[in-house]
Chain A
Amino acid sequence: MNIDILNKALQISGIGIATVFIFMAVFYFVIVGIDKFFPYKEEEKKK
């Protein structure tokens, strides 16, 4: 076992998990935002 590689794997895991949560949080706000700005009812009214 190479401690240096293990250390790097731990760092990548920490950054990776945090970043994927940030990504998903951003996507969450994207979904909430576009759903708010372009709701289904408004589209129906326009038609």
Chain B
Amino acid sequence: MGFTFQEIMPAIAGMTWQHLVMIAVGCTLIYLAVKKQYEPTLLLPMGFGAILVNFPLSAVLTQVQGGETVVGALNVLFDAGIATELFPLLIFIAIGAMIDFSPLFQRPSLLLFGAAAQFGIFITMILATIFGFSLKEAASIGIIGAADGPTSIIVANQFAKDLLPAISVAAYSYMALVPIIQPPVIKLLTSKSERKIRMKTDANKKVSRTTLVLFPIIITVMAGLIAPSSLALIGFLMFGNLIRECGVLNSLSQTAQKELGNLVTILLGITIASTMTAERFVQLDTLMILGLGIFAFVFDTAGGVLFAKLMNKFLKPENKINPMVGACGISAFPMSARVIHGMGLKEDPTNYLLMPAISTNVGGQIGSVIVGGLLLMLVPLFG
């Protein structure tokens, strides 16, 4: 009785160069997570998952063997957590429980940068349509610029399921690369004197508990009235924040911040990786999406910086805004704020930009979620 090599070693026999490329991609993600510490909580599960799913007949994915369908664990997780959008929304509860909105009350006008720094999303969407992507695909690619992984997953899952792996990898990888992407763009658009501008902030301003409890409720109501399609995103974010601020659910708040956030993050990363198969990932479209993702990040940063420069034309000298702070209007929290604070200290070791940068960054979190909801509402209308 003779067995062929394919029958004895089906995985090795079925291995293609595309599988090897994806295993190399997985190893690279793990390297970035472990060695460079770029978003390790997500890049490591994604990297390991990319290795897991790129063996022919891998048992973690659904396979048909001898006419029988054997369901893979990662497919079960995908159907339960990503296709239903449950995992990203649960992550929003955790993020909401982690965010302290009180810095926004020190200088609420900084909230506007959370809008200005979404500019790159729309520019990228337009560019993606020029490159031949459909409207829904273009919107999903543009949202990478939100620097907001869960929002990117939700939009891509609704509009462009085939592009989900590339979009989620780009979104999370570039979030981790904020310290590399933002500084050159900011330096290109600002003068040394602009980068030294000191900002007036009321660091001692305290916010009442009533205010902090009312804030997530009112924001949810307003979002529900203006753009109900954003309500899942905003609502879960604000629910998490309400648990944090209400003062009577400290145990739940801690659980949401730690256990819930950690558990869902582990599952989210490895589940996204279930889509990183060679057949879906090793394509020209993936490279284009990665390129467009960087473009979105760059133009989001530019949008925030240029908006600050525009505002400065109308502000009194004592109220001027350091244009670098505008770049924090993206959602990568608190990394973007830390980067800007560090850049400010390099220009002038006595200029502390952390508080306004944090305020702007918090605004960016709200802005990215709003834009995600708006795209979910607008794109089907123009269909």
Contacts and interface: CB of A to CB of B under 8 A. Distances in A.
Interface of A: 1-2, 5-6, 8-13, 15-17, 19-28, 30-32, 34-35, 38-40, 42-43
Contacts of B370: 20, 23-24
B208 A38 contact: yes
Contact of A16 (B111, B128, B210, B371): B371
Contacts of A42: 208
Nearest to A29: B108
Contacts of B130: 1, 6
Q: Is the interface of A mostly helix, strand, loop or mixed?
A: helix
A36 to B, nearest CB: 10
B354 interface: no
Contacts of A23: 115, 222-223, 226-227, 367, 370
B13 interface: no
A38 B222 contact: no
Interface in B189-206: 205-206
Interface of B: 104-105, 108-109, 111-112, 114-116, 118-119, 121-123, 125-126, 128-132, 134-135, 138-139, 205-211, 214-215, 218-219, 222-223, 226-227, 363, 366-367, 370-371, 374-375, 378-379, 382
Contacts of B114: 24
Contacts of B215: 30-31, 34
Nearest to A32: B108
B382 A27 contact: no
Nearest to B206: A40
B226 A34 contact: no
B227 A16 contact: no
B138 A9 contact: yes
B374 A24 contact: no
Question: Chain B CB within 10 Å — which of A15, A16, A23 has the most?
Answer: A23
A38 B210 contact: yes
A6 B122 CA distance: 12
Given A12-B125, A34-B215, A40-B207, A21 B379 contact: no
A1 B129 contact: yes
